[in-house]
């Protein structure tokens, strides 16, 4: 009876972990810009590998009767270090003048650093479209 519960828990964690890691890889291939790829790579791979390592921990605790706490330490380390790494890469990309995606709206950071305009052309175009939709509804 308890074996069925443990096997279903292990299955859920391992398949979920594999799914989220695959989403990280698809995101890094498909997304159009450096800043958006940072979102996909850091968040999805962290959760995917975290779930996989929890599944490995439950397997070793039940079948081999050994509680390996080094896996828990590895999971805590990934949760703390992956966002910090993502932030540092994003900051260095911004200061090295990597261009954002052409549909970016509202670049306030550039305004505060160099004093140039904040509303890009895409934002102005979207505002005009939405005001036209509201006029048609009335």
Partner 1 sequence: MTSFVYIIVIFSIIVFAITMLGMLYRTIKGPTLHDRVVTLDAFGVTLMGMIGLLSIVLETTYLLPIIMLIGMVGFIGTVGFAKFLEKGVIIENDRDNNS
Partner 2 sequence: MSFQLLVNIILAFLWMFMNADMSVGTFVTGYLIGLVAVYLFRNFLPGRFYLRRLYLMIKLLFIFIIELVKANIDVVKIVMSPKIDIHPGFYAYPSDLEEEWEVALLSTLITLTPGTVVVAISDDYSIIYIHGLDMDDADEEIDNIKAAFENVIKEVAQP
Binding at 32: pick from partner 2, partner 1, none (beta carbon under 5-8 Å per type): partner 2
Binding at 83: pick from partner 2, partner 1, none (beta carbon under 5-8 Å per type): partner 2
DSSP 138: -
Among positions 2, 65, 70, 112, the unique one binding partner 1 when judged by CB under 8 A: 70
**Tokens representing 29?**
């291939």
Q: Are 34 and 86 in contact (CB under 8 A)?
A: no
Three-state DSSP at 104 gives coil
With contacts defined by CB under 8 A, name the span among 1-9, 53-61, 63-71, 96-104 that binds partner 2.
96-104
Q: Which long-range contacts (CB under 8 A, 24 or more apart) does 17-26 make?
A: 17/48, 17/49, 17/50, 17/51, 17/52, 17/53, 17/55, 18/48, 18/52, 19/48, 20/44, 20/45, 20/47, 20/48, 20/51, 21/45, 21/48, 21/49, 21/52, 22/48, 23/48, 24/48
| Beta carbon nearer to partner 1, 93 or 105 | 93
**Tokens representing 124?**
């102005």
Q: Which helix (DSSP H) or strand (DSSP E) does residue 96 occupy?
A: none
Using CB under 8 A as the binding rule, whether residue 61 contacts partner 1 is answered as: no
What residues line the site for partner 1 (CB under 8 A)? 3-4, 7, 10-11, 14-15, 17-19, 21-22, 24-26, 28-29, 34, 37-38, 41-42, 45-46, 48-49, 52-53, 56, 59-60, 63-64, 66, 68, 70-71, 73-74, 77-78, 81-82, 84-86, 88-89, 91-93, 95-96, 98
What residues line the site for partner 2 (CB under 8 A)? 20, 23, 26-27, 30-33, 35-36, 38-40, 42-44, 46-47, 79-80, 83-84, 86-87, 90-91, 94, 100-101, 103-110, 112, 122-123, 126
């Amino acid at each position: 009876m308890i074996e069925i519960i443990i096997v279903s828990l292990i299955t859920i964690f391992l398949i979920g972990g594999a799914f989220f890691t695959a989403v990280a890889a698809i995101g890094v291939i498909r997304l159009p810009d450096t800043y958006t790829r940072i979102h996909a790579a850091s968040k999805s791979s962290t959760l995917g590998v975290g779930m996989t390592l929890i599944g490995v921990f439950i397997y070793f605790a039940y079948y081999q009767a050994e509680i390996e706490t080094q896996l828990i330490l590895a999971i805590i380390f990934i949760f703390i270090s992956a966002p910090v790494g993502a932030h540092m890469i994003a900051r260095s990309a911004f200061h090295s003048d990597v261009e954002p995606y052409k549909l970016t709206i509202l670049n306030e950071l550039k305004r505060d650093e160099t004093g140039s305009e904040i509303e890009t052309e895409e934002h102005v175009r979207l505002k005009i479209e939405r005001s036209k939709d509201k006029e048609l509804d009335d």
